[in-house]
Amino acid sequence: MAGQHYPGGNRGRSTFRAGPRRARATDPYLRFGLYHCAFNVDAGEDIRYLARDRANALDLPGHDFWLFDDERLALLWFTTDDRLLGAQISTEPTVVRQHTRWLDLAEAHATPYRDYLAADSARAMPPGGV
């Protein structure tokens, strides 16, 4: 599961995106993303990683979502090979609150970007062609 805070969200809050990631650190696409996250982190974005098995142990949802504020949420649905099926906006207070709780739990157990890279040197390798 990866999470990203986007500063300057609605009413001065951060927008947060969370969702499962199935790719391995040796996957060129993931390495490309990991390499370029450094620029976002340098600009102040808070990016964290949570292993899928740990997310499962915490009983976090298996779907991707964007939490815009404490009133709006986008639920994203993907195929097993990560192709977008669709999205749904929810303003239902109980749904938004549940996703806020999941987000807080994920964030408390997730590893910050630079620590995640440092834990495995393969993650820090730039992808081919960079």
Measured CA to CA, the distance from residue 41 to residue 53 in angstroms comes to 25
Residue 5 has what pLDDT? 44
Contacts (Cβ under 8 Å, ≥6 apart) of 90 = 72, 73, 74, 75, 96
Q: What is the pTM of this model?
A: 0.73
Residue labelled with tokens 């993907």 = 78
Question: How far is Cα of residue 49 from the mean position of the Cα atoms in its chain?
Answer: 7
**pLDDT (tens digit per residue) in 25-42:** 567 777 788 888 889 999
Measured CA to CA, the distance from residue 53 to residue 15 in angstroms comes to 25
**pLDDT (tens digit per residue) in 71-84:** 999 999 888 887 88
